[in-house]
Amino acid sequence: MTATGSSTTTHGTSLKHDPQLREAIDTLVERVGAHSAAITGVRPANPDLKVEYEDLLARCAAVKGRPLLYPYLGSGLGNGPLVELDDGSVKYDMICGIGVHFFGHSHPELVRAAIEGGLEDTAKHGNLQSGFGAYEFGEKLVQLAGRSSRLKHAFVTTSGAVANESAIKVCYQKRAPASRVIAFSNCFMGRTVTMAQIGDSAAGREGIPLSTQVDYMPFWDECEAERAGGQSAYIERSVAKLEEYIARYPGQHACFIFELVQGEGGFNTAPRAFFVALMECCRKHGIPIWDDEIQAFGRTESMFAYEMLELGDYIDVFCVGKMTQACATLWTEAMNPKGGLLSGTFTGSTTDFTVGNRILDLLDAGDYYGKSGEFAKHHAKFRDRMKAMIAKHPDWFPPAPGCKELVGGVGGMVKFTPFGGDKAKVWSACKTCYDEGLVLFYCGHGPFHIRMLPPLPVMTDAHWDGVFEVLERGLAKA
């Protein structure tokens, strides 16, 4: 109802369409853009802010119980791939919160969406109290996913790990009393108690009682495939290994968890035939196929990695997060759980949904995907520049054990392998690059790689030139 008693709209709708408010939002977005435009390139820290910044870092360390991994505290402003820190420095951000900020910093469309989200009466939405934004977000995901899969329903939640928890609950319930899961070696699933047990990292589950039964399958390995006699022989061996687990524990597997592009494991990719053979085996034995794209979604040559590999018909459960701001678990009609299994106080904040919905719209409308799309072009630019650097500085890039190529990844998930993949040297290189003005991180489990998750929608050739200029300086000092 409006203040005049009209029944044609609500007060909330009137607020959202208030002309003065729309004008004020336009002004806010314009002013953010004006300040953002002043950030034009890498610059060192301001010496006058040193004491104040070190005090902030000390306070952070006191709260956390240890120093920050990087001395990174954002000022709240950036410009595309450039981010300003509270010490006055500006850096190229090529890790973007491990892939969260895919449209870079201070993007005008997302600033607008966040401001609009801040106008609602509550900051949080939940399963018992929610506006339509959370359901609109899930609806859009289902519509986009449904173009090339059987995914039909979505449960929205606050983090990727919780989305994965929801997925495994759906699989457990559908396959009860099956309690085992199958996952790839070197997978990463999140940091809840259950996901830390499934993730193939001893450090990630140190001290945690092991209650989840996991059978690990080797991921695709190009070198090992050659030793095995070729792709077909390696795939045949992989299927035999899967059949061995199924025969050993008949009827006890609740799901097989697939990362179609491994994230923390090393930005590892695999041919479609490898996945098809394993998924066909799962189908034969009634084992649900769970596709975890929390890091890969939106970055490959298709919006969904399963779409790029034409695997949509096989997917029973799917998880998304990171760049979408809000996170979600999707499933097919056949996997629809009983009421009461999935719930939670929070589904996310209002801005999670206003910004997340806008990101989905931008991804869908942009000329990003396909073999000749913008992301494929950016990936080619990265590879070309990286190969030129390897040719220029071969001593920085000796052969790495078990690593056929020193440049890899797909789309917006890119990696390279300096210093033979030695972890200490790779981490040292990340830190020297950070000091020079470039934010990177590592991945893999030996060999170790340096990875980038660049904000491809806002990257230009000039940005790539700047990134590689700083990268060269950083590697020289490593």
Convert the pLDDT of each residue in 29-51 to its tens digit. 999 999 999 999 999 999 999 99
Same domain flag for 315 and 290: yes
User: How many other C-beta atoms can be found within 10 angstroms of the C-beta atom of residue 373?
Assistant: 16
State which residues form the domain around 332.
Answer: 124-365
Residue 8 lies in a domain: no
Same domain for 326 and 386, yes or no, is no
Single out the residue in 324, 348, 365 at which a domain terminates: 365
| Residue 357 sits in the same domain as residue 386 | no
Please report, for residues 104, 160, 406, 453, the alpha-carbon distance to residue 323 in angstroms, rounded to integers and kept in the order given: 10, 11, 27, 11
CATH number at residue 218: 3.40.640.10
In three-state form (DSSP H/G/I as H, E/B as E, the rest C), the secondary structure along 316-344 is CEEEECHHHCCEEEEEEHHHCCCCCCCCC
Residues 163 and 276 in one domain: yes
Answer yes or no: do 134 and 249 share one domain: yes
Q: Do 394 and 324 have their domain in common?
A: no
Question: pTM, whole model, 2 decimals?
Answer: 0.95
3-state secondary structure of 451: strand
Look at residue 6 and give its three-state secondary structure.
coil
Q: What is the three-class DSSP state of 133?
A: helix
Q: What is the pLDDT of residue 2?
A: 36
- Same domain? For 180 and 320 the reply is yes
Q: Taking 80 as the threshold, does the pLDDT of residue 435 lie above it?
A: yes
φ, ψ of residue 135 to 5 degrees: the values are -75, -30
Classify residue 119: in a domain, yes or no.
Answer: no
Is position 112 within any domain?
no
Q: Cβ neighbours of residue 399 under 8 Å, at least 6 residues apart?
A: 420
Kindly state whether residue 320 falls inside one of the protein's structural domains.
yes
> Residue 90: what pLDDT?
98
Question: Are 321 and 452 in a shared domain?
Answer: no
pLDDT (average), residues 82-101: 97
pLDDT score of 289: 98
Which one-letter DSSP state was computed for residue 369? -
- Identify whether the C-beta of residue 94 lies closer than 8 Å to the C-beta of residue 467: yes
**Residue 13 covered by a domain:** no
Per-residue pLDDT for 127 more than 90?
no
Same domain flag for 325 and 213: yes
Please report the pLDDT score of residue 402 as a whole number.
84
Does some domain include residue 11?
no
Q: Could you tell me which of 134, 44, 40 has the C-alpha nearest to residue 460?
A: 40
Q: How far apart are CA 300 and CA 309, in angstroms?
A: 10
Beta-strand ranges (E) seen in 239-336 are: 253-258, 289-292, 317-320, 327-332
Residue 404, pLDDT score: 86
Same domain, 284 and 404: no
Query: pLDDT category, 61, cuts 50, 70, 90?
Result: very high
Same domain membership, residue 233 and residue 151: yes
Domain of residue 434, CATH code:
3.90.1150.10
With respect to residue 159, please indicate whether it lies within any of the assigned structural domains: yes
pLDDT for res 7 = 64
Are residues 291 and 195 part of one domain? yes
Q: Would you say residue 356 has pLDDT above 90?
A: yes
* Segment 227-235 mean pLDDT: 94
pLDDT above 90 covers a percentage of the chain that reads 95
For 235-287, the pLDDT digits (tens) are 999 999 999 999 999 999 999 999 999 999 989 999 999 999 999 999 999 99
Q: Please give the tally of structural domains in the chain.
A: 3
Residue that is last in its domain, among 93, 116, 147: 93
